[in-house]
Amino acid sequence: MNKSELLRIIGSNIKFYREKLSNFSQSHIASELNISATSLSHIENGKSDITISRLESIAKILKVDILTLLNKEDDIKDSIINNFYNNSGNKGVNIMYQNQLEIIRHSYEASLKTKDEFI
């Protein structure tokens, strides 16, 4: 993987988590980072290099692990994302990846088969 591909993946992941999980605007994140919305747009589009400290700051704002932002896009797209809130005011995100989905699907199908055999 070359540098431009890595920057594109990181930028795409930042945009994905900003829009899908945090529901933050580019302006909000840019303001938190003390950069322009245009600069953040360049990062999200893989047109701008990003430092580790900047990536760490973005991960903190988005409340994700920095390694999550480095994952290949397919790992994110092949996942189920569940935002949760509880009565204590806590909130978080559960991410289930494709291999876990396959296990659940097979388990579900086996349960249906057992149910049908029982009936």
Query: Using one digit for the tens of pLDDT, what is the confidence trace for 36-54?
Result: 999 999 999 999 999 999 9
User: Are 67 and 87 members of one domain?
Assistant: no
User: Are 64 and 112 members of one domain?
Assistant: no
User: Are 61 and 91 members of one domain?
Assistant: no
If you average pLDDT over residues 65-77, what whole number do you get?
72
Residue 47 is part of a domain; what is its CATH number? 1.10.260.40
User: Are 24 and 49 members of one domain?
Assistant: yes
Which of 64-73, 74-83, 102-111 reaches the highest mean pLDDT? Answer: 64-73
Count of the separate structural domains present in the chain: 2
Question: Quick check: 46 and 8 in contact, CB under 8 A?
Answer: yes
Q: What angle do CA 21, 68, 25 make, to 5 degrees?
A: 35
Residue labelled with tokens 């994302």: 81
User: Are 17 and 65 members of one domain?
Assistant: yes
Question: Quick check: 41 and 27 in contact, CB under 8 A?
Answer: no
pLDDT band at residue 32 under the 50/70/90 scheme:
very high
